[in-house]
Structure 1
Amino acid sequence: MRVFVAGATGAVGRLLVPMLLAAGHEVTGGSRSAAGTDRIRHQGAAAVRVDVFDTEGLRRAVAEAAPEAVIHQLTDLTGADGAANGRLRREGTRNLVDAARAAGVSRVVAQSICWAYAPGDGPADESVPLDDSAEQPRAGMVAAVRALEETAAEADTAVVLRYGILYGPGTWYAPGGAVGAALAGDRSARFLGSTEADGSVSSFVHVADAARAAVAALDWPAGPVNIVDDEPAQAGDWLPVLAQALGVPAPDATQGRLDWARGALNGLARSRGWRPERSSWRTGFADQGA
């Protein structure tokens, strides 16, 4: 299959491109920088330098690649700027889906997140609605996620991958990343998240497992799918394990829980044949290599 990967040099994209090639797909990867396109070519794929906010340039790039599927792995997280990432989810996704449809692409696979579900008890499956009750700033994040997913769904077949919190190379949770710096007391460390060791529940997924899901999703039916490991966990449980793996001090335990922080279930993805190779953060945090 001919596949266009938007965000081919991000934390997931850089692992996804060689996986797609190994699976026999013909890949074109997009990047905003010359260094990024060089990296994509070095991996053995075709590359195009393009900005997702350049609507005409993006349309040309997708049309020239003539893909049968577009994989959306775009994020804007380098500066931990929630507004910038929200704009990319809304406007960037709109531009990408419009370019895909103009090029006759019928299948879109898009990266979303699993922590936008409505509050409730226990981990969420895909039947749980997104959170319409949130206050700002969470309300803005959920609205951007909804816009991304609804825009992607305009494709004939759109698979939305609701990733857990990504860890592994190139993420905030890797050795040398922003979360470890924050736990070590660096007040300048910036990321979108918390280091409160409370009862809030999260689900994680290693970037390599996330990339494998994107490859598999080229054959999946449309709709949202949680891509998470097997063990949703309270921050009071996973933060000390992460701190130990990163060699930094663990935070003191605190009380309370964010009512929307409930984690997610991966039963649907498993029913389609996907299995996380790193089934739990308990061992995965100490084994973050790709």
Structure 2
Amino acid sequence: MRVLVAGATGVIGRQLMPLLATHGLHGIALARNAPRAAEAERTGAQVVTADALDAAAVDAAVAEAEPDAIVNMLTAIPAVIKPRRMAEQFETTDRLRTEGTAHLLAAARRHGVRHTIAQSVAFAYDPDAGLRPAVEDDPLWRAPAAQFAPALAAVRGLEEQVVAANGLVLRFGHLYGPGTAFGAGGSTTRAVRKRRMPVIGGGTATFSFLHTHDAATAILAALDRPAAAGIVNVVDDDPATVSEWLPYLAELVEARPPFRLPAALARMLVGSWGVQFHTRLRGADNTRAATTLGWHPRHSSWREGLAHDLTGAHLDHPVD
């Protein structure tokens, strides 16, 4: 199977491309420019070059690649996210999720590619719709803070396009692993080390985490099931509140415990979305991933995954 990967040099793509080769699949990286192409080529992958926001270039790249499947992980997320400026910081990512997805799907239709998989997020469920971990049929956030609204609209747009094309949407949890904000040198880990990330308003937001390696294996599982379509949550088995995972992360990196900040004061510093991110997010349920894709996370809990990544703690199983 020939698999065109848009986003091959991202944190998931860097895990996915070697796995494709070891599982007998021919990975082809879609690179935006020459530097990205050179980075992808170092993995040994075939590379085609196109700006995803250029419809004609995408069409030509798909024609050249001749893929059997397309994996869409197009984003341009900054290394450090500033909640007050999220709408501005995510403008390119929002366009990639809407326009870039449209270009890839149009090229797929034109060139007979029948299997499309796209990355979405599992932390945009409406917190007012229930307390249990959300399933895929639960509604997305109806009225989030203004800073998150454009990103949510782009996520909806991506998902609607992919589902209408009979493709598969993988809603990934909060990513950790090499190169992420939770990696050894990532922005979240650095902030925790410097005691610059407080528990806001009780830290009642629930996070469903996902290691980047587990995200890659979920894509492999989806490629193995070309008939799979619709929306699937891809998260670990252990939803956790900020008040649980933030002190644990501080302990792992040998930092002082995070201080606590009232929501009203935090809102002046990080805006309404910064507060909602720490107090209102809803976790997600991964049952459908098991039943539809036969997928289970290698890191069933963020606790063992973070410990392995940040301290080298022994696991009962190796990481490929």
| TM-score normalised by the chain length of structure 1 | 0.90
Q: Are positions 1:224 and 2:231 aligned together?
A: yes
Aligned-residue RMSD, C-alpha: 2.2
Q: Are positions 1:123 and 2:130 aligned together?
A: no
Task: Provide the secondary structure at the position in 2 that maps to 1:285.
Answer: helix
For 2:178 and 2:25, locate their aligned partners in 1 and report how far apart those are by CA, in whole Å. Answer: 24
Pick the structure with greater CA Rg: 2
1:251 deviates by 1.3
1:186 deviates by 8.4
Q: 1:186 to 1:35 in 2, by over 3 A?
A: farther
Deviations 1:133-158 (A, max 9, x none): 33412222211100011112232x31
- Give 5+ residue unaligned stretches, structure 2: 82-88, 264-274, 311-318
| TM-score normalised by the chain length of structure 2 | 0.82
246, 264, 268: which is aligned to 1:239? 246
For 1:104 and 1:19, locate their aligned partners in 2 and report how far apart those are by CA, in whole Å. Answer: 25
Q: How does 1:1-290 map to 2 (within 5 A)?
A: 1-79=1-79, 80=81, 81-119=89-127, 120-155=130-165, 157-185=166-194, 196=200, 198-218=203-223, 219=225, 221-253=228-260, 258=276, 260-271=280-291, 272-288=293-309
For 1:162 and 1:73, locate their aligned partners in 2 and report how far apart those are by CA, in whole Å. Answer: 11
Worse-matched range after superposition: 111-120 or 243-252: 243-252
For 1:234 and 1:135, locate their aligned partners in 2 and report how far apart those are by CA, in whole Å. Answer: 20
1:234 deviates by 0.5
For 1:238 and 1:12, locate their aligned partners in 2 and report how far apart those are by CA, in whole Å. Answer: 22
Residue number in structure 2 paired with 1:190: none
- Give 5+ residue unaligned stretches, structure 1: 188-192
Task: Provide the secondary structure at the position in 2 that maps to 1:125.
Answer: coil
1:255 deviates by 6.8
Worse-matched range after superposition: 127-136 or 171-180: 127-136
Amino acid at match of 1:87: R
Structure 1 moving runs of 4+ over 6 Å: none
1:268 deviates by 0.8
Asked whether the equivalents of residues 236 and 253 of structure 1 are also in contact (C-alpha less than 8 Å), the reply is no
1:253 deviates by 4.3
1:106 deviates by 1.2
